[in-house]
Structure 1
Amino acid sequence: MTSLFDAYRLGGLTLPNRTVMAPMTRVRATAEGLATPSMATYYAQRASAGLIVSEGVQPSLVGQSNPGTPGLYTDAQVDSWRPVTAAVHANGGRIFAQLMHGGRVSHPDTTGHRPVGPSAVAATGEVFTPTGPQAPPVPRALETEEVPEQALSYATAARRALDAGFDGVELHGANGYLISQFLSSNANLRTDRYGGSTANRIRFAVEAVAATIDAVGAARTGIRLSPGGTFWGVEEEDVPGLYTALLTELARLEPAYVHLEATAEEAVLLELRRAWPGTLVMNPVLPMGAKQAGRAEADHWLGLGADLISFGRGFLANPDLVERLRTGVPLAPVDEATYYTGGDKGYLTYPAYQYAA
């Protein structure tokens, strides 16, 4: 049986194990969207992962969702990431940048701009702003001729990511953000070629991936998806049909991987595994759910045909997660109160496991 600790060839990279550090927003960037020295330390501490996927990085100012998140749309932002990627590489690691366009999940108080989306339908819940949580505004529906520009923003940011030293990029197509909004049947009410039918609703995702592959190559491009997820109020009709159609189109482009979240029933996810001929990264438990992934969940999905397993909170609280999973020592719990507070507490202060003498 495949082991979590077997090496794996991903595009041009050899991963020493099959663990992936999942992307996790930590809001530790500067107000200008710059990466910081603390971020370099944070990622370098976790470089034993087979692959690190960074926190969500906005590809444009209008694409920013939360305050305190980093960008890849200015030269200064590119420069700020170079010490981060260099630190990961110096510690023997590999790192992809997750490119995250928030779409309607944003606020003018954060960006100075009205959010954009496929349709003028507000997200549900509250969005983070510099002055605290607020109701999300109704976004401006993108004109048909504007949609390709937003798809190209991922490709432009991907070029900047490679310039900053990243090994590749992951498009955030999950969790109710822009790509997910286009896939949705209630956030996307368009009647043009980007809405209505399944073929039209998957078009934006396919164009964004195709543009990114044209920019940086298929081996350096992945995408994360949350089939059936309801984050920020999105709904999807015919989840198996929608995602089978999407994966069929993506397979023609041969990206490095598809990263699935456990947001649908296992039978649906297995159907999608069969529909996807390439590398599958599986996030084996519901993101932000009650259960935290461990060795048992990883082994279960490796047995079902996943190639790589991503861990979020496990890596957040355990910089040495790979060694802990290998030896079976307990995992440290996460401190939820410090997820988004800024500063180094709950960020750089999780120690490696201390063995008793």
Structure 2
Amino acid sequence: MLFSEFPMASGTLANRIVMAPMTRSRTTQPGDVPNDLMANYYQQRASAGLIIAEGTPISAVARGYSLTPGIYSQQHIEGWKKTTTAVHKQGGKIFLQLWHVGRRSHTDIAGQQPVAPSAIKQPDQVYGPLADGSFGMVETSIPRAMTNEDIEQTTADFVQAARNAIEAGFDGVELHGAHGYLLDQFMRFVSNQRQDEYGGSQQNRLRFPLEVINAVNDAIGADKVAIRLSPLVGEGFKEVDSDIIEVTELLLKQLAPMKLAYVHFSENIGDYTEATDSFRQKIRDIYPNPIMVAGKLTQQSAQALLEKGYVDLVAFGTPYVTNPDLVQRFKQNMALTEFDADARLTLYGGDAEGYTDYAAHT
């Protein structure tokens, strides 16, 4: 099933293997503009059924990592056109992940105090500027609680970013609602202790994510919209949120009639709980539309998930760093180039080294 086609409204995918979104911090400065090097990187990996391009901030305050590409200026749109054109020339499909990090940022990255559902900081580090002018991991700043005007503006920013992505040639967008970023922060009580209509009950904590999803659906069509969730992952949170599974199930019940492009579950990273068969079956029962899973999958485990009917698409992250021809390697049962310590050193920032210089099998 890995290599079978999969129909989507934005076009049939050549296979069910997806390149997961991964921050690589290779933009042109100033302006965080997507460039030719990035276009080459994605073009090399265009045999994936679908590429989800790296997390892309929807505004300046949405930023949490330096050197990441934006999608809120005409320069960004023109820069991204290089990537979408390159991928489409290879017959590939590509979505853009729309990103707002919320409190997982620093004032020197966002250009202002980071925003969050509530003014709650937890120990956390992000990739940002250092005192010597280089880049490295820095402790996040204390966030301020978003006002209702902030919430309205952020929803509008998501909508404009989605429109910009379509103008840039993307086949759709994925909203980043995982990994302790802004939408995830609103869904969890440990980060959302608001006393207004956006906090408290499970439905209230879903209000903002649902407003964003509905607004983006209205702007570009639900068939071009997806969302990433991580209810089994505690990244960005010091405490376990006791009802995040229930909140996720409630969200999925409300997403099901929308017929989004897919729902993407990120698993098996950081502080995580392993997904059980009963969890997967319940999610499938609640949500009959396309489901994608990412998280340390192998070819064998991915195939098993497809065969059991739990998922429709399987996403791979780090294997795509070192294996641009991952689909071909899977087809031929070839050994993969390992993602090792050297590969980890060149994940963020830099040039072609460790980015576009991994050889495809010939």
**Smaller-chain TM-score range?**
over 0.9
Q: How does 1:93-132 map to 2 (within 5 A)?
A: 93-131=92-130, 132=136
The amino acid across from 1:78 in the alignment is I
Which deviates more, 245-254 or 95-104? 245-254
Residue 49 (structure 1) aligns with: 48
Please list the CA deviations of residues 249-301 of structure 1 after superposition, one character each: whole Å capped at 9, or x if unmatched: 11132211100122543232332222112100111x3xxxxxx4221111121
Q: 2:253 aligns with which of 245, 248, 266?
A: 248
SS of the counterpart of 2:54? strand
Q: How does 1:1-357 map to 2 (within 5 A)?
A: 3-31=1-29, 32-131=31-130, 132-233=136-237, 235-262=240-267, 263-264=272-273, 265-266=275-276, 267-283=278-294, 285=295, 292-305=296-309, 306-334=311-339, 335-354=343-362
Structure 1 length normalisation: TM-score?
Answer: 0.94
For the 8 Å contact 1:144–1:192, the answer to whether it is kept is no
In structure 2, C-alpha distance between the alignment counterparts of 1:121 and 1:19, rounded to whole Å: 38
Deviation at 1:109, TM superposition (A): 0.9
In structure 1, C-alpha distance between the alignment counterparts of 2:206 and 2:232, rounded to whole Å: 14
Please list the CA deviations of residues 295-324 of structure 1 after superposition, one character each: whole Å capped at 9, or x if unmatched: 111112112321010010111111100011
In structure 1, C-alpha distance between the alignment counterparts of 2:214 and 2:35, rounded to whole Å: 31
SS of the counterpart of 2:127? coil
In structure 1, C-alpha distance between the alignment counterparts of 2:140 and 2:198, rounded to whole Å: 23
Structure 2 length normalisation: TM-score?
Answer: 0.92
For the 8 Å contact 1:71–1:77, the answer to whether it is kept is yes
RMSD: 1.3
Which deviates more, 123-132 or 109-118? 123-132
Instruction: Could you tell me which runs of 5 or more consecutive residues in structure 2 were left unpaired when the two chains were aligned.
Output: 131-135
Please list the CA deviations of residues 112-142 of structure 1 after superposition, one character each: whole Å capped at 9, or x if unmatched: 1110000001132212211132221111100
In structure 2, C-alpha distance between the alignment counterparts of 1:245 and 1:29, rounded to whole Å: 38
In structure 1, C-alpha distance between the alignment counterparts of 2:245 and 2:164, rounded to whole Å: 34
For the 8 Å contact 1:240–1:268, the answer to whether it is kept is no
For the 8 Å contact 1:59–1:99, the answer to whether it is kept is yes
For the 8 Å contact 2:20–2:315, the answer to whether it is kept is yes
Aligned length: 345
Deviation at 1:351, TM superposition (A): 0.6
Instruction: Could you tell me which runs of 5 or more consecutive residues in structure 1 were left unpaired when the two chains were aligned.
Output: 286-291
The 4+ residue runs of structure 1 with deviation greater than 6 A are none
SS of the counterpart of 2:349? coil
Deviation at 1:69, TM superposition (A): 0.1
For the 8 Å contact 1:320–1:352, the answer to whether it is kept is yes
In structure 2, C-alpha distance between the alignment counterparts of 1:271 and 1:328, rounded to whole Å: 33
